[in-house]
Amino acid sequence: IIGLEAKKQLEIINEKTPDIVIGCAGGGSNFAGISFPFVCDKINGAKIDIIPTEPTACPTLTRGPFAYDFGDTACQTPLLAMFTLGHGFVPPPIHAGGLRYHGMAPLVSHAVKQGLLRPRAYDQIECYKSALLWANTEGTICAPETSHAIAGVIEEANKAREEGREKVILFCYSGHGLMDLAGYEKFLSGRLTEYSLPEEELKKSLESIKDLPKP
């Protein structure tokens, strides 16, 4: 729905179809909400770069395999074909909120498989730097999840400026960070570190799906 609303809002201000659509992706509902109406446009020929952003600490789309897995750790759901880190994945204690889920919505996963989306991962330090820049320039404090989208927006805006091109970038500002000020305090006091999921941890987590059927 929010993606359809965004299209209406673009029409109201006489703006063209966005060049880039960005949203943070944990389980996929937030990202799908903003992006899927534009995925439809892309399928029908529109030139749109659609980017789901995620933490390097929980790199479901950027490093996980496309496989059958359960949607929960108790293995109570049907098997789902999706990008996954394995239902036995234990998320590290990073500040990424709802982006630490082990899997990805099957429809989002399928869109990635079809080449319609271009996933990207950011570490928590880069995300907090982006969130701080946003707060200082736009006046709002974003949630840790949202900071991953903002990191992608800043990267794409800088790239467009370097190329001397004007681009319309649409992203989903999915939440405020007023309940996450402790994370900002840790960042500003230098108590956060960069973190990417170690390869050995990924392999260990994927052990939980090794005996499941392959899609």
Percent helix, strand, coil in the chain, to 5, is 45, 15, 40
Would you identify the CATH topology of the domain 2-205?
Rossmann fold (3.40.50)
For residue 106, count CB atoms less than 10 angstroms from its CB and return exposed for 0-12, middle for 13-18, buried for 19 or more.
middle
Helix (H, G, I), strand (E, B) or coil at 23: strand
For residue 93, what pLDDT is reported? 77
CB distance 37 to 18 below 8 Å: no
Q: Render pLDDT for 161-172 as a digit per residue (tens, 0 to 9).
A: 999 999 999 999
- The average pLDDT across 123-127 equals 96
For residue 95, what pLDDT is reported? 67
- The average pLDDT across 76-93 equals 94
Task: Write the CA distances from 124 to 43, 63, 157, integer angstroms.
Answer: 33, 17, 20
Q: Render pLDDT for 171-203 as a digit per residue (tens, 0 to 9).
A: 999 999 998 999 999 999 999 999 999 999 999
> What is the band of 91 on the pLDDT scale with cuts at 50, 70, 90?
confident
Indicate whether 100 pLDDT > 90. no
- The average pLDDT across 20-42 equals 97
- The average pLDDT across 84-95 equals 87
pLDDT > 70: what percent of the chain? 99
> What residue ranges do the domains of the chain occupy?
2-205
For residue 96, what pLDDT is reported? 65
DSSP character string of 66-94: EEEE-SSTT--SPPEEEEBS-TT----S-
Q: Render pLDDT for 134-145 as a digit per residue (tens, 0 to 9).
A: 999 999 999 999
Strands 80-83 and 66-69: antiparallel
For residue 98, what pLDDT is reported? 76
Mean pLDDT rounded to a whole number for the chain: 96
CB distance 202 to 57 below 8 Å: no
Q: Render pLDDT for 8-26 as a digit per residue (tens, 0 to 9).
A: 999 999 998 999 999 999 9
For residue 122, count CB atoms less than 10 angstroms from its CB and return exposed for 0-12, middle for 13-18, buried for 19 or more.
buried
Indicate whether 92 pLDDT > 90. no
CB distance 171 to 148 below 8 Å: no
Closest CA to 28 of 112, 90, 93, 94: 112
